[in-house]
Amino acid sequence: MPELKLTSPLQYVKGVGPKKAEALAAMGMNTVRDLLDYYPRHYLDRTNVVAINTLQIDQMATIVGEVKAHGVLHGRGKRYEVILGDASGHIALLWFGGIRYWERLFKKGQVFAATGRVSYFQGMQIVHPDLERLDQDSDQMVHAGRIIPVYPQTSDLNKVGLSSKGLRSVTTYIYDHLSETIVDHLPAKVIAKHSLIDLDTAIRKTHYPDSREQIETCRRRLAFDELLRLQNLVFQHKGYKEATTKQHRYQAPDDVFKGFVADLPFALTSAQQKVTDEIIADLGRDKPMSRLMHGDVGCGKTVVAVLAALHAVRNNLQCAFMAPTEILAEQHYRNWGERLGRVGVKVALLTASIPAARRRRIGEQCAAGEVDLVFGTHALIYDYVSFERLGLVIIDEQHRFGVDQRGRLYAKGADPDLLAMTATPIPRTLALTLYGDLDISTIDVLPPGRQPVRTVWRTSDVRDKVFGYIRDEVRKGGQAYVIYPLIEKSEQMELQNVEDAFAQHSAGLLKDIRVAMVHGRVKAKERDDILDRFRDGEIDALLATTVIEVGIDNPNATLLVIEHAERFGLAQLHQLRGRVGRGKKKSTVVALAQTPISEMARQRLDYFASTTDGFAVAEADLQLRGPGEIFGARQSGLPELRVADLWRDRDYLEATRDLLEKLFARVDTLDSGGKRLYSYLQQSMRNHYVNLGGG
């Protein structure tokens, strides 16, 4: 039989061939080693497949059975039911969304493995189980009595026969004919210190583990390597930036700057003053500033960013201030344009909805140095916009921009300083890992006078009472938001949508108050008019999608209702909560959840209702569902983590950082093991180089 090497092309592996090789290559898999690095998504433990008649309520179990019947059930909400049966009995599998998908998936007589928690409602059932379709004969015969890997799937892989079953066949053949082992890049003393297993065993057994315990042992080893590569990218990128010297220089803040601060209608909090001082000191260095300013919703980051922009302008530099939405860019321009103009700053606004001729004129003014500070959206990155002396780039809600967008704006200057802002507080657990190449400023004090926001969550069967509360709040002089997950009705998801809700409630539960609707498809002019009327008190209740998640500042809004709150992440729920509590009136958030509610969603909603501390929310979000939006807050080219869990593996964050610091501190005196690791990391940088953003 032919022997395989790790470098053998996949096309020539038995069971692959040209078409399958092409589909694998499109996903970056060209060699045997590439495929072995395609790890399972989860596992089916068929060492413990149970008969249906032995199932117990609240048991986590895997069953294998035949589809006896399937179809849509109607009641308080549509749901899809499949009756799965084996020789001992039958059980109902239920889904409360994606009806069209399930209708296409199931056919009578098919065999499936279903894994999930057993519950009871008019009979035994499993809600939203994990599924894998099996062939009636061969698949069960080949894979009975073992732990089965289930791989991430794409439509292209499925089309060429590389479902999980197909991939299992290929990996089984590879391991039956592989003539070499994978060389471990970690020195033996590092492996021993952290109680890791060797790399060859970790990869081999992650595909075909002998036990559940072994799955976790393998995952932890692969997670260590993944976090080591991540830390290396950040570590080395910081070194590249430290080697850069910027051309522009800053003088100390002048009297105009000091007068502007003194004339603000409020005093800076201690945290705002501390961060302002950090930024000014950083701007004064000869290296380009790369600083992340983060803090809770409503902590006052914008005024600090505006002061940084003013300092740049007073040093004869231009500043580009990019926001993720027109709403937010326009709000910054409206709030600060006139005040900055009074101290001689030439301010402009540039968004996609501004007429083309006007946009080009603003671009020409920026190029000629006639604009000092331009607030804008992604329109700032277009080719017709250039700058004469761009010295500072400010990116608001920076996780909403991609690497290329931020890089294109940064490239419009000669090593400008960079200030990124986010209202998603970064857990201390992650700060040094995700932002080790940035200096971090934290605003952890809210402006005085802010009232704590009362937060509760309820099931959607009390919606009528909640809408009565909206009417009561309006009668007392307040205003309300009602947030929906969708713009219009979806065939894939049974969710409330803002268009149907507006039509229904403006003529029903909310007919006695002034109601308006805004979402991403509303034209800019109409949207701005609606938001202005809402701020001016001419609209009582604003029905909206998450388009208002950032950029709406209405101190008179005292009530926020979130429909389908179970569908939102904890960080996003907290961000939405920041739309109220901006004035001196007491505010309330009511999160409405549609039943059935998963245990994870219940934990999320309970925590949301129990704390308004954004930093605590960020830590809980990380613990409950992984990095999610928190990891997205970096969103600047860092590789996706496939096996590492930044909460469960947080002990490795410090361990890998410590290993790198020691490695690079003595690179000239490394032993053979250290040299092998250093070479691996350098090769990893070449193979997976990413741009971590400007600065």
pLDDT over 50 at 28, yes or no: yes
pLDDT at 299 (0 to 100): 85
Say whether both 287 and 421 belong to one domain: yes
Report the residue count for the chain. 695
What separation in angstroms does the CA of 487 have from each of 97, 327, 520, 694? Answer: 17, 18, 8, 35
Give the count of alpha carbons within 13 A of 190, CB side only.
23
Higher per-residue pLDDT: 197 or 353? 197
Say whether both 371 and 460 belong to one domain: no
The rounded mean pLDDT for the chain is 87
User: Once rounded to an integer, what is the mean pLDDT over residues 656-681?
Assistant: 92
Report the distance separating Cα 480 and Cα 516, nearest Å. Answer: 11
pLDDT at 286 (0 to 100): 92
| 147-150 vs 42-45, strand pairing mode | antiparallel
pLDDT over 60 at 145, yes or no: no
Report the distance separating Cα 489 and Cα 493, nearest Å. Answer: 8
Peptide bond into 596 cis (omega under 30): yes
Q: How many helices (H) and strands (E) does the chain have?
A: 25, 21
Report the distance separating Cα 59 and Cα 681, nearest Å. Answer: 44
Say whether both 469 and 580 belong to one domain: yes
pLDDT over 80 at 486, yes or no: yes
Say whether both 361 and 463 belong to one domain: no
pLDDT at 629 (0 to 100): 47
Whether residue 164 is contained in a domain is answered as: no
Say whether both 367 and 408 belong to one domain: yes
Name beta bridge partners: 80: 72, 95
| Confidence band for 523, pLDDT divided at 50, 70 and 90 | confident
Whether residue 13 is contained in a domain is answered as: no
Say whether both 303 and 433 belong to one domain: yes
User: Once rounded to an integer, what is the mean pLDDT over residues 640-668?
Assistant: 87
Contacts of 253 (CB under 8 A, 6+ apart): 280, 311, 314
User: Once rounded to an integer, what is the mean pLDDT over residues 124-137?
Assistant: 78
Placement of tokens 């430290």 in the chain: 242
Whether residue 200 is contained in a domain is answered as: no
User: Once rounded to an integer, what is the mean pLDDT over residues 402-407?
Assistant: 68
Domain boundary residue, one of 400, 416, 443: 443
| pLDDT tens digits, one per residue of 349-384 | 999 989 999 999 999 999 999 999 999 999 999 889
Say whether both 536 and 391 belong to one domain: no
Report the distance separating Cα 331 and Cα 302, nearest Å. Answer: 11
pLDDT over 80 at 335, yes or no: yes
Whether residue 82 is contained in a domain is answered as: yes
| 79-86 vs 453-459, strand pairing mode | unpaired
Say whether both 323 and 466 belong to one domain: no
pLDDT over 60 at 117, yes or no: yes
Contacts of 136 (CB under 8 A, 6+ apart): 66, 109, 111
Domain boundary residue, one of 443, 475, 492: 443
Written as six digits, the tokens of 263 are: 């004339």
Q: What 3-state class would DSSP assign to 346?
A: coil
User: Dihedrals φ, ψ of 270, to 5°?
Assistant: -60, -35
Report the distance separating Cα 543 and Cα 505, nearest Å. Answer: 10
User: Once rounded to an integer, what is the mean pLDDT over residues 34-50?
Assistant: 85
What separation in angstroms does the CA of 198 have from each of 4, 18, 270, 478? Answer: 21, 33, 51, 63
Element (H, E) at 456: strand 453-459
| 60-73 vs 79-86, strand pairing mode | antiparallel
DSSP at 626 = -
**Radius of gyration of the chain measured on its C-alpha atoms:** 28
| Confidence band for 44, pLDDT divided at 50, 70 and 90 | confident
Report the distance separating Cα 221 and Cα 670, nearest Å. Answer: 23
| pLDDT tens digits, one per residue of 84-113 | 999 999 999 999 877 888 888 899 999 888
pLDDT over 90 at 142, yes or no: no
Whether residue 355 is contained in a domain is answered as: yes
Q: Do residues 65 and 166 make contact, with C-beta atoms less than 8 angstroms apart?
A: no
pLDDT at 279 (0 to 100): 97
pLDDT over 70 at 140, yes or no: no
User: Once rounded to an integer, what is the mean pLDDT over residues 113-129?
Assistant: 88
pLDDT over 80 at 10, yes or no: yes
Q: What 3-state class would DSSP assign to 547?
A: helix
| Confidence band for 540, pLDDT divided at 50, 70 and 90 | very high
| Confidence band for 695, pLDDT divided at 50, 70 and 90 | very low
| Confidence band for 47, pLDDT divided at 50, 70 and 90 | confident
| Confidence band for 630, pLDDT divided at 50, 70 and 90 | very low
Whether residue 130 is contained in a domain is answered as: yes
Name beta bridge partners: 575: none
Higher per-residue pLDDT: 428 or 643? 643
Residue type, 53: N
pLDDT at 235 (0 to 100): 80
Report the distance separating Cα 177 and Cα 35, nearest Å. Answer: 14
User: Once rounded to an integer, what is the mean pLDDT over residues 415-435?
Assistant: 75
Report the distance separating Cα 498 and Cα 510, nearest Å. Answer: 14
pLDDT at 325 (0 to 100): 86
- CA dihedral (268, 272, 278, 284) in degrees, to 10, reads -50
pLDDT at 1 (0 to 100): 47
DSSP notation for 568-615: S-HHHHHHHHTTS--SSS-EEEEEEEPSS--HHHHHHHHHHHH---HH
pLDDT over 80 at 322, yes or no: yes
Say whether both 430 and 460 belong to one domain: no
| Confidence band for 323, pLDDT divided at 50, 70 and 90 | very high
pLDDT over 90, % of the chain: 54
pLDDT at 457 (0 to 100): 97
User: Once rounded to an integer, what is the mean pLDDT over residues 484-506?
Assistant: 81
Whether residue 129 is contained in a domain is answered as: yes
| 111-120 vs 124-127, strand pairing mode | antiparallel
Count of domains observed in the chain: 3
| Confidence band for 503, pLDDT divided at 50, 70 and 90 | very high
pLDDT over 60 at 665, yes or no: yes
Most confident by average pLDDT, 14-28, 238-252, 391-405, 517-531 = 14-28
118: CATH: 2.40.50.140
Say whether both 426 and 485 belong to one domain: no
Give the count of alpha carbons within 13 A of 560, CB side only.
33
4-13, 44-53, 391-400, 429-438: segment of lowest average pLDDT: 429-438
Written as six digits, the tokens of 636 are: 């600047």
Report the distance separating Cα 419 and Cα 17, nearest Å. Answer: 50
pLDDT over 90 at 626, yes or no: no
Q: Do residues 457 and 594 make contact, with C-beta atoms less than 8 angstroms apart?
A: no
**Domain span holding position 507:** 453-611
Placement of tokens 């027109």 in the chain: 326
Say whether both 439 and 555 belong to one domain: no
pLDDT at 237 (0 to 100): 77
Domain boundary residue, one of 570, 590, 611: 611
How many C-beta atoms lie closer than 10 Å to residue 156's C-beta?
Answer: 13
| Confidence band for 21, pLDDT divided at 50, 70 and 90 | very high
Residue type, 387: F
Say whether both 348 and 469 belong to one domain: no
525: CATH: 3.40.50.300
User: Once rounded to an integer, what is the mean pLDDT over residues 281-309?
Assistant: 91
User: Dihedrals φ, ψ of 527, to 5°?
Assistant: -60, -45
Written as six digits, the tokens of 498 are: 């803002």
Whether residue 666 is contained in a domain is answered as: no
